[in-house]
A and B are shown apart, each in its own frame.
Chain A
Amino acid sequence: MSAAEAPRRLRARVRPPAGRTLGASAAVLAALVVGHVVTSAFPVDERVAAPFVREGAVGDTLDLRYARLTVEEPTGSTVLAPEVGSLLATPGVWLVVPVTVEAKGQPRALAFAELLGGDGRTYTVFTGGRSAFLPGAAQPGVPRYATLHVEVPPEAVAGARLRVGLDVEDQRHDDVAEVDLGLTQADADAWSAGDTPVRAPAASDAPPEHP
């Protein structure tokens, strides 16, 4: 190959044979198919982003990254007496759960809660509204006494578990407390039959007066 012809040869447009092009296209399509199967076949996204669940029972003090949490004995009724406003009624049953929060490291304002009902459904608890949990900022070392109230159908009471966490929107990769409330169908029946209003006091640093 002469020196003058080599550059001319390089400038000429060479095309690979048809078989090679077809093979390459087939390989690209195969890679796309395999990629789709791999990303959609196994549901790993939820597990990778899952929170660290710390389990416990009523009365146990759960040690989370950001706070020490104790869930006390729940009560219930068909009528709720909130701190502010008039009585609230529900087509199901009100569940009122006292929660004690002691922050660790710096002041923490817990805002996330949800109830995993015994019927398999998830009952949302927001920072305000009919089903609410709002403890406010807790000073480290100074226990904060808050109350969570949620309305559920009676079939969700038996076997219900309560989850409490820090950030209301995002609990990924952080500690979440899960407490088995130890409720039975007998509790559900008793509460759906009664209409004595159950109190849901606002959060405070003073322990609630025990009747």
Chain B
Amino acid sequence: MSASAIQVTDLRKVYTVPEREAGLQAALRSLIRPRVREVQAVAGVSFQIAPGEIVGFLGPNGAGKTTTLKMLAGLLHPTSGEARVLGYVPHRRERAFLSQMTLVMGNRNQLQWDLPAADSFELQRAIYRIPPAEFRATRDAFIELMEVGSLISKPVRNLSLGERMKMEIIGALLHRPGLLFLDEPTIGLDVTMQRRIRNFIASYNQRYGATVMLTSHYMADVEALCRRVIVIHHGRVLYDGPLSGLVDRFATYRQISLSLSEPADLSAYGEVVANAGTRVTLRVPKAEISLLSARLLAEQSIADLTIEEPPIDDVIERVFATE
């Protein structure tokens, strides 16, 4: 096995998609001369992930995140390039590889709908050939961690979305995989449920030293779990490094939050992003922060002034909008 849990070199996936214009004429024409177009979903990405790392894999819809995850999980054959995951070539889908990893996709139901989750867990035991004692110990520990003891005997169809997601995650981790691909695991869940799932992932990572690759549109997930992020856009890696570095590299502005003694128009100092009477937030260029702070303190009646880095999702949104 190589030193990296995941090693990806110039990985590409090109889809050939049929294409035709609207209308009857175009439909007839396409019968005789069908037209196809090549779409590069992943256009040559390279990165390495060390064992035990939790890495956020970020990008807007259609950036190539899920396609990359599917290639790394062995669901898709890459068009070119190389991927080694836990020392295996994923698309060969060897039994030993599949037994050591899991891919959890948000809103995906792998549990038996009409049966209690306990029955689906039992099936997972047989599929992954988990020794019975180990299975019971893991199941009970996860049930306790997720606080779902009272729900285990209820048919899955009677569970709420959040409860179902907890059960999905337990089911996906019963075989204690060393590698987790988590694709939007908290999508559609309320903040309490999101937090509980985040805590579970963090404690799983600590307890078993598992490597985690996480995609999420909720920056709270990324901020809570990932010290490193890989940002992908148009199928290419745009940034790979610490989460904090993302702000340094891409945020060309800072935010100044002000408490004023009396309401005032501050639009001459920068872009007003929030204005609630005496509480105002300004967005100003990073290079001018010292100068503008000094001017504000000198020219306005200010009770409090705080300089903040912009919210991470704001930074990411701007990166994707400008690239």
A, B assembled together: no
